[in-house]
Copies of this chain bind each other. A is one copy, B any other.
Amino acid sequence: MKIAIFEDNLQYRESLELLIVTTPGMELCGSFDSTERLKQRIEALRPDVVLMDINIPGVDGIEAVRIIKEQFPQVQVCMQTVFEDEDKIFASLCNGASGYILKSSPPEKVIQAIREVADGGSFFSSSVARKVLKSFQDSPAPGVFIQLSDREKEVLRMLVDGLSYKLIADKACISYETVHSHIKNIYEKLHVKSKGEAVAKAIRQKLI
- The reply on A204 being an interface residue by CB < 8 A is yes
Q: Which of B98, B127, B161 meets A133, CB within 8 Å?
A: B98
Set of chain B residues within 8 Å of A192, measured between Cβ atoms: 162
- Say yes or no: B124 contacts A194, CB within 8 Å: no
Over the window 118-154 of chain A, the binary record of Cβ atoms lying under 8 Å from chain B Cβ atoms (1 yes, 0 no) is 0111111111011011001101111010000000000
- The answer to whether B126 and A116 have CB atoms under 8 Å apart is yes
Pairwise interchain contact B130-A122, C-beta atoms closer than 8 A: yes
Q: Could you tell me the distance between the alpha carbons of A55 and B20 in the complex, rounded to whole angstroms?
A: 41
A91 within 8 A of B: yes
Residue ID in chain B nearest A195 by CB atoms: B196
Q: What range describes how many residues of A lie at the interface?
A: 35 or more
The chain B residue with its CB closest to the CB of A144 is B91
Could you mark each residue 52-63 of chain A with 1 if its beta carbon is under 8 Å from any beta carbon of chain B, else 0?
000000000000
Chain B residue contacts of A197, Cβ below 8 A: 161-162
Given contacts A124-B129, A129-B129, contact A142 B93 (CB under 8 A): no
A160 nearest CB neighbor, chain B only? B200
Q: Confirm or deny: A50 has a beta carbon within 8 angstroms of a beta carbon on chain B.
A: no
A142:B196 contact, CB within 8 angstroms = no
User: Are B122 and A126 in contact, with the CB atoms below 8 A?
Assistant: yes
Cβ–Cβ < 8 Å partners of A136 in chain B: 90, 93-94, 132
- For the complex, is A164 an interface residue (Cβ under 8 Å from B)? yes
* A/B interface sample: 25 pairs, CB < 8 A: A90-B136, A91-B142, A91-B144, A94-B137, A94-B139, A94-B141, A94-B142, A98-B130, A121-B125, A121-B130, A122-B129, A122-B130, A122-B132, A122-B133, A123-B126, A124-B129, A132-B136, A159-B196, A160-B196, A160-B200, A161-B196, A161-B200, A162-B197, A164-B194, A200-B203
